Amino acid sequence: MACIFLISDPHFGQASMLNFKKADGTPLRPFATVEEMDETMASNWNSVVRPQDKIYCLGDVVMKKQQLDILKRLNGHKRLVRGNHDIFETKEYMKYFEDIYGVRVLDDMILSHIPLHPNSITKRYNTNVHGHLHSGFVADKDGLPDGRYFSVCVEKINFTPISLEDLRIRIKEQKEKYPPIYATDMKGPD
For 93-137, the pLDDT digits (tens) are 999 999 999 999 999 999 999 999 998 898 888 999 999 999 888
pLDDT at 188: 46
pLDDT at 164: 98
State the average pLDDT over residues 15-21: 95
Quickly state the pLDDT bin for 185 (edges 50, 70, 90): very low
- SS3 assignment for 36-104: HHHHHHHHHHHHHCCCCCEEEECCCCECCHHHHHHHHHCCCEEEEECCCCCCCCHHHHCCCCCEEECCE
% of the chain residues with pLDDT over 90: 81
Distances in whole angstroms, Cα of residue 66 to Cα of each of 11, 44, 74: 13, 22, 15
Superfamily of domain 4-177: Metallo-dependent phosphatases (3.60.21.10)
pLDDT at 153: 97
Quickly state the pLDDT bin for 139 (edges 50, 70, 90): confident
Helix (H) or strand (E) holding 176: helix 164-177
pLDDT at 183: 57
Amino acid sitting at position 3? C
**Chain center to CA of 132:** 8
Quickly state the pLDDT bin for 186 (edges 50, 70, 90): very low
pLDDT at 171: 96
Query: Cα separation of 127 and 167, whole Å?
Result: 11
- Higher pLDDT residue, 23 or 4? 4
User: In the Cβ-directed half-sphere of 121, how many Cα atoms lie within 13 Å?
Assistant: 22
pLDDT at 182: 67
